[in-house]
């Protein structure tokens, strides 16, 4: 891994991009979309939600095809109305990990308000261990809805990444993290210690983590060209959410069409040709870090 300093130095690094699909394992349609896009070369990696019902399907595929570049999408919330999931740990009421029905909280705000940091750490560890026990090598690690970047838990996240030597998504500034809208009030000072520890261990901070445009104000090609055009110097991580038709319309009726349109666009030959023409270096986070390690050239 290349050791990276503060903002001015980071911005001199040529653009590198990880086109990543979040929420893999959440449902069958998420797995279908990811497998097709990855096999086309349209995306570089996928973040897997280990506590979700369709984890075993994508884990089986990942064992058979190591090149699928599956990472761990640490999951601490369960935001859907009727389609929910529970912690892997035997969470007690005192843990603060669950609502009155025993499911993970629906929002990061509730997670931050009620969850005990020790219980969060235990749940994150259980998810990492379950992923590894399935026979998978993580391409990276990140967090669903940004829950791991809550100030109360972010240092636990960093410690876990370092303990398991996992390529970690970590923003250079919290302002550069697209899903930050889930977090509520945060302060950049909460992230200094974690960033310093990752840099000291040879990690690379993301100059930008760009998220799916959660609207349909313009046609999909315009929305995603605008998103890709925000890519700049340094490391860029695209947090996308492609999904095939099927269950998603019932699981997430308000935004299902956005996920479906994203899937259709990412596999469209015209859009793929345009994306491939951009002057950037694309790979998984693990691959980019390995390529930038001193002596790797």
**pLDDT, position 5:** 37
Task: Look up tokens 């884990």; give the residue.
Answer: 59
pLDDT digits (tens, 9 = 90+) for 118-148: 999 999 999 999 999 999 999 999 999 999 9
Structural contact between residues 211 and 179, judged by C-beta atoms closer than 8 angstroms:
yes
**Which CATH architecture group holds 7-291?**
Alpha-Beta Barrel (3.20)
The whole-number pLDDT of residue 294 equals 60
Q: What pLDDT does 67 receive?
A: 96
CB 192 within 8 A of CB 161: no
50 neighbors 172 (Cβ within 8 angstroms) = no
CA distance 287 to 44: 10
Strand ranges in 190-260 using DSSP code E only, listed in sequence order: 208-211, 235-240
**Beta strand ranges found along the chain (DSSP E):** 16-24, 45-48, 70-74, 141-143, 208-211, 235-240, 281-282
Written as six digits, the tokens of 220 are: 């999909």
Coil, helix or strand at residue 143:
strand
User: pLDDT tens digits for 49-98?
Assistant: 999 999 999 999 999 999 999 999 999 999 999 999 999 998 898 999 99
Spans in the chain with pLDDT lower than 70: 1-13, 293-297
């Amino acid at each position: 891994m290349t050791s990276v300093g503060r903002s001015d130095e980071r911005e001199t690094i040529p653009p590198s991009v990880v086109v990543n699909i979040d929420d893999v394992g959440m449902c069958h349609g998420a797995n279908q979309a990811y497998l097709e896009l990855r096999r086309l070369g349209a995306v570089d990696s996928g973040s897997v939600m280990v506590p979700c019902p369709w984890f075993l399907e994508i884990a089986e595929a990942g064992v058979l095809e190591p090149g699928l570049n599956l990472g761990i999408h640490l999951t601490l919330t369960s935001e859907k109305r009727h389609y929910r999931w529970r912690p892997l740990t035997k969470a007690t009421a005192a843990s603060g990990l669950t609502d009155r029905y025993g499911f993970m909280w629906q929002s990061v705000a509730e997670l931050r308000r009620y969850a005990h940091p020790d219980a969060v750490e235990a749940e994150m560890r259980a998810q990492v261990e379950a992923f590894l026990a399935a026979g998978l090598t993580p391409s990276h690690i990140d967090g669903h809805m940004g829950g791991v970047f809550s100030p109360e838990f972010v240092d636990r996240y960093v410690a876990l990444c370092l303990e398991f030597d996992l390529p970690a998504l970590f923003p250079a500034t919290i302002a550069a993290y697209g899903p930050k809208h889930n977090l509520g009030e945060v302060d950049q000072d909460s992230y200094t210690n974690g960033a310093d520890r990752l840099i000291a261990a040879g990690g690379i901070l993301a100059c930008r983590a760009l998220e799916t445009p959660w609207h349909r104000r313009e046609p999909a090609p315009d929305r995603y060209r605008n998103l890709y055009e925000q890519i700049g110097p340094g490391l860029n991580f695209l947090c996308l959410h492609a999904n095939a038709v099927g269950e998603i319309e019932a699981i997430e009726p308000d935004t299902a069409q956005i996920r479906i349109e994203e899937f259709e666009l990412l596999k469209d030959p015209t859009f793929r040709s345009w994306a491939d023409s951009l002057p950037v270096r694309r790979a998984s986070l693990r691959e980019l870090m390995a390529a930038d390690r001193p002596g790797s050239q």
